[in-house]
Amino acid sequence: MGKKKKRSREETEPELAAEQTKSLDGDSKKKKTKTKNPNADKEMTRSVSTVSIALPGSIIDNAQSLELATRLAGQIARAATIFRIDEVVVFENRRGSGNDSAVNNSSGGDESGAAFLIRILQYLETPQYLRKSLFPKHGNLRYVGMLPPLDAPHHLRKHEWAPFREGVTLKEKSPHVKGTMVDVGLSQNVVVDQVLDPGVRVTVAMGSDRNLESDLPRQVVSSSKPREEAGMYWGYRVRYASNISSVFHECPFQGGYDYLIGTSEHGLVINSSELKLPSFRHLLIAFGGLAGLEECTEADNEYKGKNVRDAFNIYLNTCPHQGSRTIRTEEAMFISLQYFQEPINRAVRRT
């Protein structure tokens, strides 16, 4: 990592922070975050339902160049955003997997496919105006500039007003009020009422006062608030898992995932209009890599020797009439997330 300390959205949220640190630094010791968004803990107990996706980082290892690996990560970020995914879990799916990737880190060493994918996914999810403060320079970010932007609702332009804005806390003190100055990507910084360390990503409720000259402090809120209060899609979080069983067991949402879907060409064929998902709080949809989810469960001690179907509530083929012998993971994500859209909407409406 570079000199500047990055505090991403995950680092302000404890469970996610620990996993994130593990993957990017190659250090399995959970790092204690000195400062965090004080409202972030509440987020895990909210009543909104969430949809997570999981995919293996090894799909990056098959890309033949850094540019192609970057494009692939960009497609995954686009799919997650288009389909309003709340959490992307990137897992390892090979024994001893790690540094067999074609992607290099800034110090010239290898970065695993999972670490690479996490970095790009997080970078793209971060509003443009915050990237410089939150992401130290890194060799593997070389081609991100050529990717299409996510254009998510929280990626606001300088002139746009919205009830919430993502921001980064600053060192600079407010001359008049106790609190913290935050850069929310407007022509002037705003003040929030909490005292926070610099370099923390926060979600700010902008309130009704549009006068940026005013010292009226704004409030730091949970990043799930825009969705709960205004129904706005507010981006995805990224989590690292060391194998597929950790994807399931280390769920950051209270109560864990309550419905697990596996996708495969060997899955059940059910017409999307007839698929009845149960009401859920936290749904997870898993995708496999080159050799499918079978390979992922086979590499995991908990599922070794078992039928891959036992790991999921339902195992589905979402593209039964495929013309190509193989559908790639990134293609399957678009196909499957479109397939699940209506069944998910029906299930959420029943909740």
Ligand X SMILES: C[S@@+](CC[C@H](N)C(=O)[O-])C[C@H]1O[C@@H](n2cnc3c(N)ncnc32)[C@H](O)[C@@H]1O
The binding site for ligand X (CB under 6 A) comprises 263-267, 287-288, 290, 292-293, 317-319, 322, 326-329, 332, 336
Nearest to ligand X of 24, 332 (CB atom): 332
> CA dist 187 to 182, 212, 275, Å?
12, 8, 48
Tell me the closest approach of the beta carbon of residue 125 to ligand X, in angstroms.
22
Sheet containing strand 50-56, strands side by side: 237-241, 87-91, 50-56, 282-286, 259-269, 314-317
87-91 and 314-317: which strand pairing?
unpaired
Nearest to ligand X of 81, 329 (CB atom): 329
Give the integer Cα–Cα distance in Å for 93 and 282: 23
- HSE-CB at 147 with a 13 A cutoff on CA atoms is 26
Alpha helices per DSSP H over 26-65: 58-61
CB atoms within 10 A of CB 267: 20
Tokens of 122: 């997080």
Closest CB to ligand X: residue number: 288
Tell me the closest approach of the beta carbon of residue 312 to ligand X, in angstroms.
11
- HSE-CB at 166 with a 13 A cutoff on CA atoms is 26
Tell me the closest approach of the beta carbon of residue 196 to ligand X, in angstroms.
40
Tell me the closest approach of the beta carbon of residue 73 to ligand X, in angstroms.
16
- Residue 90's nearest CA partner among 246, 202, 318, 312 is 246
Nearest to ligand X of 220, 283 (CB atom): 283
CB atoms within 10 A of CB 278: 12
Nearest to ligand X of 8, 264 (CB atom): 264
Nearest to ligand X of 60, 327 (CB atom): 327
Nearest to ligand X of 15, 61 (CB atom): 61
Tell me the closest approach of the beta carbon of residue 266 to ligand X, in angstroms.
5
Tell me the closest approach of the beta carbon of residue 201 to ligand X, in angstroms.
31
Nearest to ligand X of 167, 288 (CB atom): 288
Tell me the closest approach of the beta carbon of residue 285 to ligand X, in angstroms.
9
